[in-house]
Structure 1
Amino acid sequence: METIQAETVADGQAPLSSAEVVSKVISPDNSKSTFFKNAGLPTRSLKPPSAAEQVLQEQLDAERKLTKRSEATEEALAKTRQLYEDMKKRQEENNLVLHRIL
């Protein structure tokens, strides 16, 4: 676990506030901080992603888009089925009315 050691304060300078100390410890830019890693949150990397990482990220993005499209298609299909069933019931009701009239 990382500890923040007290820094000597030069004459005329105010010591860091508690909020400033905490923000240094949990900063996503702090490469020594394990706060976000332990919390399971992503952190910014200081190095650019490798070509393989970029390819994997693009594949992941494409899969996410495909999943969203698939979900949207399934929702549209369910709505269409419901509309078809409603229309079918109305047609049956109309047929009964016509049958009685004739």
Structure 2
Amino acid sequence: MQAQAIADGQAPLLSAEVVSKVLSQNNFNSTFLRNASISAHSSKSSSAGLVVLHEHLEELKKKTEAIEEALDRIARQYDELKKQQEESHLILQKILHVTTPGISS
């Protein structure tokens, strides 16, 4: 559909408009639209609903990125703490070998 609009010399359609047209042509009471709580009574309401869905998707993407960054930071902190724990363990082992008579290295 988008290719036709461009070929006819018209302005390209927004993705939401293309999806809205396809959904309204295929099934006026689309399951997708009902599940997404979008009224399919008009092309405008479908387009507006899809724009809202697109905005919601973008918001979720931003939140996901923030969560992934936090998880990466936590993983780096965990690795650093694990490394420090291993170093502490080695130091404690050396102390025990020095202070405990009869243990040879």
TM-score by length of 2: 0.50
- The CA distance in 2 between the partners of 1:90 and 1:79, in whole Å, is 17
CA distance in 2, matches of 1:80, 1:95: 22
Q: Which residue of 1 aligns with 2:73?
A: 79
Q: Distance in 1 between matches of 2:82 and 2:70?
A: 18
Q: In percent, how many aligned pairs have the same letter?
A: 33
Q: Which runs of 4+ in 1 moved over 2 A?
A: none
Q: Aligned ranges for residues 55-94 of structure 1 at < 5 Å?
A: 55-94=49-88
TM-score (norm 1): 0.52
Q: Unpaired runs of 5+ in structure 1? A: 1-36, 43-48
- Displacement after TM superposition at 1:77 (Å): 0.5
How far the C-alpha of 1:59 sits from its partner, in A, is 0.4
The RMSD of aligned alpha carbons is 2.3
Q: Which has the higher helix share?
A: 2
Partner deviation per Cα, 1:15-48 (whole Å, 9 max, x = no partner) = xxxxxxxxxxxxxxxxxxxxxx6xx9x9xxxxxx
Deviation at residue 53 of structure 1 after TM alignment: 1.2
The amino acid that maps onto 1:88 is: K
Aligned pair count? Answer: 60
Post-superposition shift, 1:68?
Answer: 0.4
